[in-house]
Amino acid sequence: MNNPGSDALLQQVADSFAATPDPRLREILASLVRHLHGFIRETGLTEREWMQGIEFLTAVGQTCDDKRQEFILLSDVLGASMQVVAVQSERPAGCTESTVFGPFHVEGASRIANGGDIANGARGEPCTVFGSVRNSDGDPVADAEVDVWQSDDDGLYDVQRPGLPAAQGRGVLRTDAQGRFWFTSVVPVPYPIPTDGPVGRLLDASRRSAWRPAHLHVRIVAPGHDTLITHVFRAGDPHLESDPVFGVRPSLVSSWPGSAEGRRELRFDFVLHRHEAP
Ligand SMILES: [Fe+2]
């Protein structure tokens, strides 16, 4: 397993990338080669197992189309997406924590005026969401673009329902002068990540849960601030401890309590990291 020939091979492969002009690409390739070869040598990987791995990755690629992104799902269940978020999140305390983007965002969703309905026919328990956006200095962030998306009462995103006449459960809002935004929707519920593809087979083979705790996705873009990609999770969800994509952060858990009128409401304040003045 640790024969000298494999050391020479590793060095030969590493050297083959040594003239890469882009220094960052050179660094990444060198590390990739080192870890990939280390993985093969540590496990004593057989040719048959390597071929099974290649067939698995081929199936992941073949499962992707313009609506289904199995590679993001694979990255998510391996914790790679969350690790990338973790190594990049160097924000001051008090800023809202980031989490995984997930595979169900659609760029260019409809613009929704504050007070509008993002459900657009998606079934579920009605609710109202009141959000605010301020920065790490405590100032409200006006005119921030707030992109929200979520599943319906069956735990499905609109893109998982072929033939829908219009988008459901997603929209793009803008904060007002006080940094506020608000909309009506339905209360999110837990859902299993898609298990009908190779990632589902991986979870099944390792006896892992496919169920994500209920959540609302939020992306906030504002000039002069770091873009925030996060979720708001629903308190009390039985899947908070076993999220298959490792996205839960305690600071992102909130409740959707009933108001005096009996309607459920989520109130959540988002804090962006303001860039240092140039
Ligand atoms: Fe989601």
pLDDT digits (tens, 9 = 90+) for 169-189: 999 999 999 999 999 999 999
Superfamily of the domain at 75-272: Aromatic compound dioxygenase (2.60.130.10)
The C-alpha torsion from 6 through 7 and 13 to 16, rounded to 10°, is -140
The average pLDDT across 89-98 equals 84
For residue 60, count other CB atoms closer than 10 A to its CB.
Answer: 19
Report the pLDDT value the prediction gives residue 277, as an integer from 0 to 100. 63
54: helix, strand or coil = helix
pLDDT in tens, 124-157: 999 999 999 999 889 999 999 999 999 999 999 9
Alpha carbon of 151 to ligand 1 centroid (Å): 7
Alpha carbon of 75 to ligand 1 centroid (Å): 14
Alpha carbon of 216 to ligand 1 centroid (Å): 7
For residue 128, what are its two tokens? 């109202």
Identify whether the C-beta of residue 252 lies closer than 8 Å to the C-beta of residue 97.
yes
pLDDT at 30 over 90: yes
Looking at the chain, the number of H-run helices and the number of E-run strands are: 6, 10
For residue 261, what are its two tokens? 């009128």
Report the pLDDT value the prediction gives residue 278, as an integer from 0 to 100. 56
The average pLDDT across 51-56 equals 98
The protein residues having their C-beta less than 5 angstroms from ligand 1 (an ion) are: 102
Write phi, then psi, for 8 (nearest 5 degrees).
-65, -40
Q: Which of 74-78, 109-113, 222-226, 273-277 has the lowest mean pLDDT?
A: 273-277
Considering the entire predicted model, what is its pTM?
A: 0.87
- Picking from 129, 104, 79, the residue whose alpha carbon sits closest to that of residue 229 is 104
Report the pLDDT value the prediction gives residue 225, as an integer from 0 to 100. 94
pLDDT at 243 over 50: yes
Q: Of all helices (H) and strands (E), which one includes residue 221?
A: strand 215-221
Q: At which residue do the structure tokens 């169900």 appear? A: 104
Q: Of all helices (H) and strands (E), which one includes residue 220?
A: strand 215-221
Give the integer Cα–Cα distance in Å for 54 and 51: 5
Report the pLDDT value the prediction gives residue 1, as an integer from 0 to 100. 47
78 Cβ contact list (under 8 Å, min separation 6): none
Alpha carbon of 43 to ligand 1 centroid (Å): 34
Report the pLDDT value the prediction gives residue 4, as an integer from 0 to 100. 52
Alpha carbon of 82 to ligand 1 centroid (Å): 14
Alpha carbon of 214 to ligand 1 centroid (Å): 8
Alpha carbon of 72 to ligand 1 centroid (Å): 12
Report the pLDDT value the prediction gives residue 46, as an integer from 0 to 100. 96
Alpha carbon of 135 to ligand 1 centroid (Å): 25
- Picking from 183, 193, 103, the residue whose alpha carbon sits closest to that of residue 155 is 193
Domain ranges across the chain: 4-45, 75-272
